Amino acid sequence: MADELYEVLGVSRDASGDEIKKAYRKLAKKYHPDLNPGDRAAEETFKKLQAANNILSDPEKRKQYDAGAIDAEGNETQQRYYRDYAGAGGDHPYRSSAGYDDIGDIFSDLFRSHARGRGAGGADGADGAEFRMRGGDARYSIQVSFLEAVNGAKKRVTMSNGKALDLTIPPGLHEGQILRLRGQGMPGYGGGAAGDAYVEVHIAAHPGFRRHGNNIHSDLPITLHEAVLGAKVRVPTVTGAVTMSVPAGSNSGDTLRLRGKGVPAAGGRAAGDQVVTLIVQLPKQPDEALKSFLAEWSKTHSYDPRAEKEG
């Protein structure tokens, strides 16, 4: 026998009656048509919940369903026939106190009845019911640049109702982080509070920077003479270029660290560093002077940079 009805309510086959009741009430509140006007999918889901609860909340019907005597719609399977119950009293398996009859109980915490006078044309002191419920949450997604995520920024988000809000991107924001805007979701019902807006932030890649934790990594091309003789060079950072000393005898793959030039400090978090990897870059078209010099130099200064790797 399939566990279809149990799956509808999201409970296990051995769930207790209280667990079934609790699961049904939670889902019924979420998918009730009054809370989802015009949403056909929610309406269909609600009908399935009603059908599942109608059977599983009734001990006798549940026993028959588990045994395969009735299907998920409460119809008799080939093991039993409807005529067995023809003329049966009000307690036959096709009747149940579960279902729509208890929906008022489900929403008892969302409705309140009160007497209120009506204006002209209405009856004074008529009983009325006011529906009050918190509005639904709204979800959005935006993309920010790498530098905006690292340093923080202000971004404008257009809500589903056309309202524009300024969103604060905190320094050091991570990919996929979700920011919450209190009270900026869907409006409440009957004077209920508005829901919240949740904005998922995605970060665009940067051509020159990579982030590892709170450290920023970058590659820095240097010339042959800067590597051999040493030099002071300008290095881009996430907050602007700075001057860095390249030691004499530097080589491709050597790393230098710029303290405090990574992700800025924020919220008790210390600033990260920038790790700079040097890349010695030769001229695209070496001239004759360089070729001649290296040809003569190599005659008396031979070395094998691959010897250590091969050993």
Per-residue pLDDT tens for 174-190? 999 999 999 888 888 88
pLDDT at 95: 36
Half-sphere exposure of 34 (CA within 13 A, CB side): 13
Mean confidence (pLDDT) of the chain: 80
Determine the longest span between alpha carbons in the chain, in angstroms. 114
220-269 residue pLDDT tens? 999 999 999 999 999 999 999 999 999 999 999 999 999 999 999 988 88
Alpha-carbon span 297 to 278, nearest angstrom: 24
29-76 residue pLDDT tens? 888 776 777 788 888 888 888 888 888 888 888 888 888 878 877 777
Answer whether 227's CB lies under 8 Å from 254's CB.
no
Alpha-carbon span 185 to 194, nearest angstrom: 6
The predicted model gives 286-301 an average pLDDT of 90
**Over the range 201-216, which residues count as b (16 or more CB within 10 Å of their CB) and which as e?**
bebeebeebebeebbb
